[in-house]
């Protein structure tokens, strides 16, 4: 037996032992680490097998070689998605989803799964062929705006609960007025874009995203450098005017998909409840303070610290006189329905929602991933890797399929 063949047998033995291990994760390991090791073992078996011309599969290997092999993996689409939530490396569940949708003649859903597998470099021949057949490597405009109902039911992350969203939506105008800032001097010198008359790609894309999301028109400023896009709570002529800063590099090139992703992600913050996080300088302690101040305004938090009491008075002074009673009614409904009041969970979910909208508008996982890896400025709840995994899972969800069909992107 040659050295290479001996190596192959050693890797196979590791794979057999790991596949048969039925106990808890080994000490010092977490499930994700175990899954990564399992994948490493399987890949080493495949490499050694390739060197010897031996095509026997590794025990515990997760990628079927063909669509027929994927069909042997049982389970409903919901069960496979639940498995992928727990184990992003369960590629056999991706393949099983592809086989399911292909067999049901749900071509766009099958394409979305194939596209995800191509992005993950795990596609088999059938999946790669469908991706090549249906992939559109250019920017495509949607046929209609995203409706409020579609946003809430299909795009918003499930942990972005309606209760906290409604509270921040009611208080956001007061917070915007309370903390609006003058534009930095280096921005003023540039001058804002005339969206009505400017025909540049940035101006046209801003108008397009504004119409798709049905948000207010921001003041747009091109920055001298950088590729980032961000929203700023600014004041102009004594009034709040949300500003959108666009890095010059974000508008470079003929491919508009990166710009569509960047603007879609950023302009989601113009949605009134999301704008609250902009108002508090994207500070989680400040966001929690506002949520508690809202309870103080509703006369539901007796004995709050002096700084929270002072904040409640400042915000109340900028709200309509009936707003505290409306907040009180809202908190009563939240409590009656057992909804959580978790500002951190809400803000994390709102960040995921914004990236989902970027993906919908760019319609390309590779473009989304490149932007996420390249723009990690400022505060973020998720690492680039975790956010990309979130988008991959969303891109193979029934909600995403429904959004694509609604916007005319399917097929």
Computed over every residue of the chain, the mean pLDDT equals: 85
Q: What is the pLDDT of residue 55?
A: 41
Beta bridge partner(s), residue 223: 247
List of E strands, 86-217: none
What is the pTM (predicted TM-score) of this model?
0.82
Weakest mean pLDDT among 181-185, 276-280, 387-391: 181-185
Rg for the chain, CA atoms, rounded: 25
Higher pLDDT, 30 or 96: 96
Q: What is the pLDDT of residues 120-147, one digit of tens each?
A: 999 999 999 999 999 999 999 999 999 9
pLDDT band at 345 (very low <50, low <70, confident <90, very high): very high
Q: How many CB atoms lie within 10 A of CB 35?
A: 18
Q: What is the pLDDT of residue 250?
A: 77
Does 31 score more than 50 pLDDT? no
Instruction: Using a pLDDT cut of 90, give the percent of the chain over it.
Output: 68
Report the C-alpha gap between 127 and 347 in whole angstroms. Answer: 36
Q: What is the pLDDT of residues 136-176, one digit of tens each?
A: 999 999 999 999 999 999 999 999 999 999 999 999 999 99
- Both structure tokens of 128: 């790669």
CB 145 within 8 A of CB 212: yes
Pick the most confident of 145-149, 186-190, 265-269. Answer: 265-269
- For 248, residues 6+ apart whose C-beta sits below 8 A from its C-beta are 222, 223, 224, 225, 226
Average pLDDT over residues 85-90: 90
Q: What is the pLDDT of residue 380?
A: 84
Higher pLDDT, 253 or 376: 253
Please state, in angstroms and as integers, the Cα–Cα distance from residue 318 to each residue in 112, 171, 176, 232, 385, following that order.
47, 9, 10, 20, 41
Helix (H, G, I), strand (E, B) or coil at 323: helix
Beta bridge partner(s), residue 244: 220, 231
């Amino acid at each position: 037996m040659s050295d290479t063949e001996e190596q192959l047998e050693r890797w196979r033995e590791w794979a057999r032992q790991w596949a048969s291990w039925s106990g808890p994760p080994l000490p010092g390991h977490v499930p994700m680490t175990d899954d990564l090791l399992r994948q490493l073992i399987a890949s080493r078996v495949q490499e050694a097998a390739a060197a010897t011309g031996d095509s026997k599969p590794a025990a515990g290997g997760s990628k079927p070689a063909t669509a027929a092999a994927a069909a042997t993996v049982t389970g409903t689409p919901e069960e496979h998605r639940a498995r992928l939530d727990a184990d992003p490396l369960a590629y056999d569940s991706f393949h099983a989803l592809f086989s399911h949708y292909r067999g049901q003649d749900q071509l766009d859903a099958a394409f979305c799964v194939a596209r995800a597998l191509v992005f993950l470099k795990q596609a088999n021949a059938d999946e790669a062929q469908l991706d090549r057949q249906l992939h559109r490597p250019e920017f495509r405009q949607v046929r209609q705006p995203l409706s409020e109902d579609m946003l809430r039911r299909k795009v918003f992350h499930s942990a972005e609960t309606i209760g906290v969203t409604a509270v921040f939506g009611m208080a956001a105008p007061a917070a915007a007025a309370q903390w609006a800032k003058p534009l930095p001097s280096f921005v003023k010198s540039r001058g804002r874009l005339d969206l009505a008359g400017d025909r540049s790609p940035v101006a046209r894309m801003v108008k397009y995203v504004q119409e798709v999301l049905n948000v207010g028109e921001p003041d747009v400023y091109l920055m001298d450098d950088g590729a980032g896009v961000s929203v700023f709570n600014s004041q102009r002529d004594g009034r709040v005017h949300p500003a959108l800063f666009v890095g010059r590099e974000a508008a470079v090139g003929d491919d508009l998909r990166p710009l569509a992703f960047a603007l879609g992600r950023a302009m989601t913050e113009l949605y009134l409840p999301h704008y609250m996080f902009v108002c508090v300088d994207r500070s989680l302690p400040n966001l929690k303070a506002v949520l508690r101040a809202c309870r103080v305004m509703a006369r539901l938090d007796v004995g709050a610290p002096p700084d929270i009491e002072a904040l409640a008075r400042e915000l109340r002074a900028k709200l309509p006189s009936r707003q505290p009673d409306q907040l009180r009614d809202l908190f009563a409904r939240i409590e009656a329905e057992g909804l959580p009041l978790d500002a951190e969970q809400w803000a994390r979910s709102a960040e995921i929602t914004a990236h989902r909208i970027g993906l919908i508008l760019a319609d390309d996982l590779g473009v989304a991933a490149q932007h996420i890896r390249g723009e990690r400025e400022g505060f973020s709840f998720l690492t680039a890797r975790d956010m990309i995994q979130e988008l991959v899972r969303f891109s193979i969800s029934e909600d995403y399929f429904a959004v694509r069909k609604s916007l005319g992107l399917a097929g």
